[in-house]
Amino acid sequence: MWPPWKRSPSRTQTPKNFKCSSFKDIHNLCNEEPEEILPRKPNIFQRVRLANAVIRTWSHPAPVPPQKTTVSPSPPLPSASPSSPLEPGTPIPIALPEAEKRIVVYYTSLRVVRKTFEDCRTVRSIFRGFRVSTDERDLSMDSGFLEELQAILGSKEQITLPRVFIGGRYIGGAEEIQQLHESGELKRFVEGFPSTDGGACEECGGYRFLLCEKCHGSHKCHTENVGFKSCEACNENGLIRCSSCSTSSGFDLPNLKNRN
């Protein structure tokens, strides 16, 4: 008889307390427990694509719809007939005395301020295009025109140029004249005024001024009793208004010392 420790495992006796399940339990043993399906994480390519989409969204925000702006109505333009009656409550317009039959333009021929010079040249060109005679008053040639304009406008402060009067009524500056010209109203304003051929004056060359014959442009006259004194016939620059320009324009211009 083999000792217990030398016996083969196949011949080992089954313990008495061993219990074997029936075959009907094999199906239960073979059935595996269902695995819990976890959400699949995006791979590296999907994460890069998502990040690029977010960056593009931030760099190109959605356009903001334009807001509707209310434009305030522009003030009414002056009437084409300066002598028409005004409505009650309307402020009295600025008027130039004794200029009901003139188109007066206050301007400067100096090029110190480029914009002012360009505005003056533009306004003068517009009126010359209509071939109507204009009374051009150059403030740089005669300082008396500045005092005259300040008295008309009622302001002693610096005045921007040009300033235009049509039929004795103040119309405005360069911006107002350009707006009237673009809308076609300016043509109706200048109807009935004296016309001109557009050529330069043969006597003054279009400068509207001549040298004084008494002082020859020095603005000084000499007499034996008093000696040198200021010339009373010209302005501080020794200039007088050209009489040929005033005659060809259809109206007489007073002397610089007795201007209206």
For 26, the token pair is: 């094999």
Compute the distance between CA of residue 152 and CA of residue 97 in angstroms, rounded to an integer: 9
> Mean pLDDT, to the nearest integer, of 22-47?
58
Compute the distance between CA of residue 107 and CA of residue 117 in angstroms, rounded to an integer: 8
> Mean pLDDT, to the nearest integer, of 151-155?
89
For 55, the token pair is: 């960056």
CB 211 within 8 A of CB 217: yes
pLDDT band at 76 (very low <50, low <70, confident <90, very high): very low
Amino acid 164: pLDDT: 96
Amino acid 114: pLDDT: 94
pTM above 0.95, yes or no: no
> Mean pLDDT, to the nearest integer, of 140-161?
89
User: Does residue 260 carry a pLDDT above 50?
Assistant: no
pLDDT band at 257 (very low <50, low <70, confident <90, very high): very low
For 89, the token pair is: 């409550």
CB 97 within 8 A of CB 260: yes
What's the whole-number average pLDDT of the chain?
Answer: 75
Q: How far, CA to CA in Å, does 167 sit from each of 9, 80, 184, 189? A: 138, 10, 18, 9
For 51, the token pair is: 């990040």
Q: Percent of the chain having pLDDT more than 70?
A: 60
Q: Is 61 left (phi over 0), alpha (psi -120 to 50) or beta?
A: beta
> Mean pLDDT, to the nearest integer, of 183-212?
86
User: Does residue 9 carry a pLDDT above 70?
Assistant: no
- One-letter identity of residue 47: R
Amino acid 178: pLDDT: 95
At which residue do the structure tokens 């039929």 appear?
167
Backbone angles phi, psi at 49, to 5 degrees: -65, -40
Q: Give the strand pairing for 103-107 and 135-138.
A: parallel
Lowest mean pLDDT among 100-104, 143-147, 160-164, 246-250: 246-250
Q: Which residue has the higher pLDDT, 205 or 101?
A: 101
Cβ neighbours around 2 below 10 Å, total = 8
CB 173 within 8 A of CB 105: no
Beta bridge partners, 166, equal 103, 169
User: Does residue 160 carry a pLDDT above 70?
Assistant: yes
Sign of CA dihedral 79, 82, 85, 91: positive
Q: Quickly list DSSP for 195-253.
A: B---PPPTTTTTSSEEE-TTTTTSSEEEETTTEEEE-SSS-TTSEEE-HHHHHHHTSPP
Q: Which residue has the higher pLDDT, 30 or 119?
A: 119
- Beta-strand ranges (E) seen in 20-120 are 103-107
